Chain A
Amino acid sequence: MKGPWLCFDTATEVLSAAVIGEDGRLLAEVSRHAPRLHSAMLVPTIEETLALAGIARGDLAAAAANRGPGSYTGLRIGLAALQALRDGLGIPAYGVPGLVAAAFSQAQDGLVAPALDARREDAFCALYEVGGGALPLERIEPSLRGLREFCGELGLLRRPVLFLGDAVRAHRSILEGFEFARLGAADLRAADLGRFAQRAREEASIADALSTAALYLRPPAVSGR
């Protein structure tokens, strides 16, 4: 796929967009803390990022966005825009599972636990074995659960685990209570979504993971009706 890729992430309070080359090299990125402003700011942020990279929208070869898990509203804003870019520009679009893409961004081999804050002490989290530049191996599948309980399970592995994602910031004190926990980047980067998609496209076994449908992990709450 010749040409630059547009990538964006609306799964957390940080709205992030990036343009990368077909080889994964970063051309430009813009991130802003924009709670509840994703629907207002996503397209302006995309425009800003493309301008920084000196890329016209018509030159884009593909687009990628986070399909989840994360904020339900945020995911829908990102995926609706992703589908519109696909339809409007006539380019392929990839919805990228965000937690595994975050794990894939780690250069160091070992266990990686991406975890997104889901209020109270809950997190969207998963565990991956990262090594040798291969796609991460899923050890615990993505789910929404209590962070303490998740850490309790990880402790049984008796190995260091690198935590990534905004739970690192929101729940630092919880994570610091576990000796095996190493704290990594709290803010994930949109470019990593694109790099994961570029790699995953080549692996037929997980091509289905790149759908533009949202990964909510939970059925909608309809209680009280």
Chain B
Amino acid sequence: MICLGIETSCDETAAALVTGEGQVLGSVVASQIDLHEAFGGVVPEVAARRHLERLSPTVRRAIEEAGIGPEEIGLVAVTRGPGLAGALMVGLSFAKAYAFARGLPLVGVNHVVAHAYAAFLGAEVRYPELALVASGGHTVLLQLRGPQDALVLGRSRDDAAGEAFDKVARALGLGYPGGPLIEAIAREGDPLRCPLPVVRPIEGSLDFSFSGLKTAAQQRFLAGEGPADVAAAFQEAVLAQILSRTRVAIERLGARRLVFAGGVSANGFLRERLAQALAPLGVELVAPPMHFSTDNAAMIARLGLALYAAGERAPRELNAEPVIHPFKP
């Protein structure tokens, strides 16, 4: 079965076609980064307007890229949340009407859990999986116990990891988005010249905290340290925190692999060093191809297919859920 995935939760308009085996036939992402750059962040009304302009052509291009006829689509999967309400509703309304028009089943998908499933494009899921999703909007440590069952083990208590990268990049005068810029400049820096404080976990909790690191990085920079050294130290501190939390989870759950997904997983330094650190524990790092780390619709289709196979069907009254409580896939 071929699934059409649709994603409009933030600032990327995306559509993809994925087979039941998890093979990506076509994937198109229309980015709005240029549009929001001038405002230094995503403006919800601007994003929603652009989604409406781009979605239909994006779906058409994805179908063309896949080289299939629309009659070969057997399922529609759409992001139902979390995300920006106005943006989500464009994708949701399109997906509902498209499924109705073609007489297809529809499933609603949790965007954050879907990030983890990007690692299973062309690969099998072996439940239970341990997954760290880190992006500009979310930092969540999950235990995936089935397509309909994702348990939150820990989450950021303040800024998301990707948000911290953006803010540090801005403080260092590097620009937006911060992730790739910090990674690039950190290669020239010495992480030991001005190390940032270790963020100790709260007793018994696997929660994260990144806003302190952002402030500390800013102070080092204002105290005269070079941006490359501060960036390198910041990356080391993020890595240390991710490692301390995931090590506990791995031990507690006896996990044999860790899925690392979301926009922050496109950071080559973090990927490589995490893999190195986990190898001696007999734990394999599984990450999506770089271009499926950031927002895309292939991950939506991948989780949609798993949900459908587990018997999930969206109710006729499916609505956007900008904030998903309790946390459901």
Q: Which residues in A have some Cβ–Cβ distance to B below 8 Å?
A: 37, 39-44, 46-47, 57, 72-73, 76-89, 213-214, 216, 220-222, 225
Question: Contact: B102 with A80, CB < 8 Å?
Answer: no
Q: Which residue of A lies closest to B92 (CB)?
A: A39
User: In the complex, which residues of chain A have a beta carbon less than 8 angstroms from the beta carbon of B85?
Assistant: 73
Residue of A with least CB distance to B104: A88
Q: Besides the contacts A57-B101, A73-B86, A80-B94, what 8 more A-B pairs have beta carbons closer than 8 Å?
A: A39-B89, A72-B45, A72-B48, A73-B89, A76-B86, A80-B89, A83-B55, A220-B45
Please pick, from B49, B93, B317, the residue contacting A84 in the complex, using a CB distance under 8 A. B93
Cα–Cα distance between A84 and B59 once the two chains are bound (Å): 10
Nearest Cβ in chain A — how far from B115, in angstroms?
23
- Shortest CB-to-CB span from A35 to chain B, Å, is 13
B188 within 8 A of A: no
Q: Among A40, A41, A46, find the residue whose CB has the most chain B CB atoms closer than 10 A.
A: A40
4 smallest A-B Cβ distances: which pairs? A88-B101, A84-B97, A81-B97, A220-B45
Once the chains bind, are A222 and B48 in contact (CB under 8 Å)? Answer: no
Residues of B within 8 A of A37 (CB): 319
Distance from A221 Cβ to chain B, minimum over Cβ atoms (Å): 7
Taking a contact as CB atoms closer than 8 A, the residue among B46, B49, B93, B100 that contacts A77 in the complex is B93
Given the complex, which residues of B lie within 8 Å of A214, measured CB to CB?
Answer: 49, 52
Interface centre among B51, B60, B319 (most CB of A within 10 A): B319
* A86 to B100 Cα, complex, angstroms: 12
Instruction: State which of B43, B48, B59, B98 has its C-beta within 8 Å of the C-beta of A76.
Output: B48
Interface of A is mostly: helix
Cβ-defined contact, A222 with B46, below 8 A: yes
| Inter-chain contact A77/B89, CB cutoff 8 Å | yes
Complex contact B39–A80 (CB within 8 A): no
Contact A40 B317 (CB under 8 A): yes
| Closest chain A residue, CB of each to CB of B320 | A39
A41, B317: Cβ atoms closer than 8 Å: yes
Residues of A within 8 A of B72 (CB): none
Taking CB as reference atom, which chain B residue is nearest A212? B56
Cβ of B90 under 8 Å from chain A: yes
- CB nearest to B39 among chain A residues: A225
Task: Find out whether the CB atom of A80 lies under 8 angstroms from the CB atom of B93.
Answer: yes
Residues of B within 8 A of A222 (CB): 39, 43, 45-46
CA distance in complex: A47, B106 (Å): 15
Complex Cα distance, B283 from A220, in Å, reads: 48
Q: How far is the CB of A219 from chain B (nearest CB, A)?
A: 9
Q: Which of B56, B97, B101, B318 contacts A40 (CB 8 A)?
A: B318
B208-251 contacts to A, CB under 8 A, are none
Checking A80, A87, A221 against B45 with a beta-carbon cut-off of 8 angstroms, the contacting residue is: A221
Residue in A closest to B55 when the chains form the complex, CB atoms: A80
A73-B89, A76-B90, A77-B89 known; A87 and B98 CB under 8 Å? yes
Q: What is the distance, in angstroms, from A4's C-beta to the closest C-beta of chain B?
A: 15
